[in-house]
């Protein structure tokens, strides 16, 4: 989460950190959304309380881990279908930070995206009412930055911050999936993710023995909004769950807890085993607590 906060403060030095209720990634929020919908997919992630803000920290697997006997084009197709802009050609992934309100909760959500449309589609905006203002503010911040500078963020951090490339509007962002031509993709699989990450465009690429024919990105904003409307009961339940989890964490004697579900029974919020590390380095912890 350190890169999230450092990047945010570099773009918006006056950003009101303490106004945020939850900082999370699409994966951890998606875990709780599936739990609210009683989908039996076990999960486990950590949470850290910084001031009055809760951070959800994904427990990721090793980046070198391989899955035996897995066949498909989910990784090779994006490498061939998309290209990195020259200024960011050595990047490994495109991580985005979005800000929106979910009922009375103010969220910062980090997510990885598959690509962007070079020519912005008209009206292809996400459902959050505050997104346009946030986007305009961040775009202005980027316009004032000097491209190509690399800065060591602090004496204690190994992270370097580089301002590079051009900010892309959320309305240009898309996710993608691949499928064999005989296997129709069910949009219900992806709509919850698109809703959480506020992604308005989607590409489903069908192939015959690895040959893809003219894949196209579609604007799915209306489908996301329709999903939101049809799942109002689920989202209401999810909101209550999210608020309750945040309350339990804030009422706990421990700033750091683990949230887990084994696929059945209740959601568990337990103390983390061992000392562990805080979600942010000391200078950012002090800055978060020090803002009025």
Task: Kindly report, residue by residue over 24-62, the tens digit of the pLDDT.
Answer: 999 999 999 999 999 889 999 999 999 999 999 998 654
CA 129 vs. chain centroid, Å, equals 18
**pLDDT of amino acid 213:** 73
273: which residues sit within 8 A by CB, 6+ positions away? 258
Q: Tokens 């996301």, residue?
A: 224
**pLDDT of amino acid 180:** 74
The SS3 assignment for 241 reads helix
* Mean pLDDT over the full length of the chain: 80
User: 77-81, 160-164, 192-196: which has the highest mean pLDDT?
Assistant: 192-196
Span 253-275, pLDDT tens digits: 888 899 999 988 899 999 887 77
Model-wide pTM > 0.85 = no
For the segment 232-241, the average pLDDT, to the nearest whole number, is 96
Span 58-88, pLDDT tens digits: 986 544 444 454 455 556 666 777 777 776 6
Q: Worst-scoring range by mean pLDDT, 108-112, 166-170, 240-244?
A: 166-170
**pLDDT of amino acid 47:** 95
The SS3 assignment for 256 reads strand
pLDDT at 223 exceeding the cut of 80: yes
Domain span at residue 119 reads: 2-61+69-290
**pLDDT of amino acid 128:** 45
The 3-class secondary structure across 57-109, one letter per residue, is EECCCCCCCCCCCCCCCCCHHHHHHCCCCHHHCCCCCEEEEEEEEECCEEEEE
**pLDDT of amino acid 153:** 53
**pLDDT of amino acid 76:** 67
Span 90-122, pLDDT tens digits: 777 788 899 999 999 999 999 988 888 886 445
- Res. 219 pLDDT band, cuts 50 70 90: very high
Q: Worst-scoring range by mean pLDDT, 112-126, 167-181, 266-280?
A: 112-126
Alpha-carbon distance of 215 to 206, in angstroms, equals 7
The SS3 assignment for 282 reads helix
Alpha-carbon separation of residue 136 from 50, 113, 131, 132, 167 (angstroms): 28, 20, 9, 6, 10
Q: How many CB atoms lie within 10 A of CB 24?
A: 26
In this prediction, what percent of the chain has a pLDDT beyond 70?
75
Q: What is the DSSP letter of 190?
A: T
Q: Which of 26, 38, 11 is nearest to 266 (CA)?
A: 38
* Tally of structural domains, the chain: 1
If one compares 149 and 239, the residue with the highest pLDDT of the two is 239
User: 36-40, 148-152, 177-181, 215-219: which has the highest mean pLDDT?
Assistant: 36-40
H or E stretch covering 55: strand 53-58
């Amino acid at each position: 989460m350190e890169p999230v906060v450092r990047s945010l403060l570099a773009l918006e030095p006056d950003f009101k950190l303490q106004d945020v209720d939850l900082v999370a990634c699409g994966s951890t929020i998606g875990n709780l959304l599936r739990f609210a919908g009683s989908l039996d997919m076990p999960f486990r992630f950590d949470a850290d309380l910084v001031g009055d803000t809760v951070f959800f920290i994904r427990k990721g697997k090793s980046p070198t881990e391989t899955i035996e006997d897995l066949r498909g084009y989910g990784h090779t197709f994006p490498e061939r279908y998309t290209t990195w802009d020259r200024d960011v050609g050595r990047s490994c992934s495109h991580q985005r930070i979005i800000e929106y309100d979910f009922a009375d909760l103010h969220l910062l959500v980090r997510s990885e995206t598959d690509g962007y449309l070079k020519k912005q589609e008209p009206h292809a905006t996400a459902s959050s009412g505050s997104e346009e203002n946030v986007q305009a503010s961040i775009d202005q911040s980027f316009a004032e930055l000097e491209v190509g500078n690399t800065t060591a963020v602090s004496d204690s951090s190994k992270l370097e911050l580089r301002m590079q490339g051009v900010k892309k509007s959320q309305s240009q962002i898309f996710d993608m999936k691949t499928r064999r031509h005989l296997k129709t993709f069910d949009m219900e699989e992806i709509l919850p993710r698109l809703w959480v990450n506020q992604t308005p465009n989607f590409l489903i690429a069908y192939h015959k023995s690895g040959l893809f024919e003219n894949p196209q990105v579609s604007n799915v904003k209306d489908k996301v909004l329709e999903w939101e409307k049809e799942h109002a009961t689920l989202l209401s339940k999810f909101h209550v769950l999210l608020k309750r989890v945040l309350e339990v964490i804030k009422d706990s004697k421990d700033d750091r807890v683990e949230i887990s579900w084994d696929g059945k029974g209740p959601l568990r919020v337990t103390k983390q085993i061992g000392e562990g590390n805080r979600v942010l380095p000391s200078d950012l912890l002090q800055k978060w607590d020090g803002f009025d």
